[in-house]
Amino acid sequence: DTAVSQTPKYLVTQMGNDKSIKCEQNLGHDTMYWYKQDSKKFLKIMFSYNNKELIINETVPNRFSPKSPDKAHLNLHINSLELGDSAVYFCASSQEVRVNTEAFFGQGTRLTVV
Amino acid sequence: DAKTTQPNSMESNEEEPVHLPCNHSTISGTDYIHWYRQLPSQGPEYVIHGLTSNVNNRMASLAIAEDRKSSTLILHRATLRDAAVYYCILKNRDDKIIFGKGTRLHILP
């Protein structure tokens, strides 16, 4: 069983479209995250949710809207896609908001906006 | 944003030990030192973490300087599969994992 799974793995879409990336974790973790890795390979945190509540929002355009229907899922919806949104998006989860917990990452979703 | 400094890249021969250094001179007393790695085309993977004492697990060892301003990740016997980008991260109370540029480790057969 995959601990943190994301779908789809690849997503190619045109500018202006709206798309969603889904993330599910089966680890029973309370905290979930979205990270973006750009073409220069920098990994940046976008959002963090704890028990379905937003706790971190790192100055991400409001075209990006995370949605957490339950604590096992954190989906990322992106409106009006732009070329600069092309990147690999990683979902992650950790046990709780504690200093010494490890995070588990999904395999990533490669988004290409054309 | 990252509070750590690592070499951009390192090389090592297969089956030899690898010592990956990390400087974190501004570490606070409550910061844990975490290491993650990212294999090609995969998501980051937890390796090890520690606070003050050296730590060992099945993947690696973490040696922490007495003043905590630096640490070293030790891979005891590198394999080709260990070729990855290794990130040294200080993790604070608000649970935000901030990745720096990391060290790209090349393993030579």
Q: How far apart are CA A64 and CA A78, in angstroms?
A: 5
- Binned at pLDDT 50, 70 and 90, residue A98 comes out as low
Q: How far apart are CA B95 and CA A55, in angstroms?
A: 10
User: Under an 8 A CB cutoff, do B91 and A100 touch?
Assistant: yes
Residue with tokens 């935000």: B96
**Residue A88's pLDDT is what?**
97
The DSSP symbol for B80 reads G
Residue A107 C-alpha, separation from nearest chain B C-alpha, in angstroms = 5
B8 Cβ under 8 Å from any chain A Cβ: no
Q: Is there a contact between A108 and A8 (Cβ–Cβ < 8 Å)? A: no
Position A99 pLDDT exceeds 60: no
Position B75 pLDDT exceeds 60: yes
Q: Which residue has the higher pLDDT, B101 or B97?
A: B101
User: Under an 8 A CB cutoff, do A108 and B45 touch?
Assistant: no
User: Under an 8 A CB cutoff, do B95 and A101 touch?
Assistant: yes
Position A1 pLDDT exceeds 70: no
Sheet strand arrangement including B61-64: B18-23, B70-75, B61-64, B55-56
What pLDDT, in 10s, does the model give residues B13-65? 999 999 999 999 999 888 899 999 999 999 999 999 999 999 999 999 999 99
Counting other chains too, the contacts that B58-64 makes at CB distance below 8 Å and 24 or more residues apart are: B60/B35, B62/B33, B62/B35, B64/B33
- Binned at pLDDT 50, 70 and 90, residue A52 comes out as confident
Listed ranges A17-21, A38-42, B27-31; the one with the highest mean pLDDT = A17-21
Q: Which residue has the higher pLDDT, A97 or A65?
A: A65
- Binned at pLDDT 50, 70 and 90, residue A56 comes out as confident
Distance of CA B91 to the CA centre of its chain: 13
User: Under an 8 A CB cutoff, do A104 and B32 touch?
Assistant: no
Q: Is there a contact between B60 and B73 (Cβ–Cβ < 8 Å)? A: yes
Q: What does DSSP say about strands A109-113 and A10-13: parallel, antiparallel, or unpaired?
A: parallel
Residues in chain B closer than 8 A to A33 (CB atoms): 97
Nearest to A94 among B87, B95, B98 (CB): B95
Q: What does DSSP say about strands A103-105 and B45-50: parallel, antiparallel, or unpaired?
A: unpaired
Choose among A26, A74, A27: nearest CA to A50: A74
**Residue A95's pLDDT is what?**
85
Position B1 pLDDT exceeds 70: no
The residue of chain A nearest to residue B42, with distances taken between CA atoms, is: A107
Average pLDDT over residues A73-84: 96
Q: And the tokens for A55?
A: 């706790």
- Binned at pLDDT 50, 70 and 90, residue A41 comes out as confident
Choose among A112, A102, A106: nearest CA to A43: A106
B93 Cβ under 8 Å from any chain A Cβ: yes
- Distance linking the first and last C-alpha atoms of chain B: 35
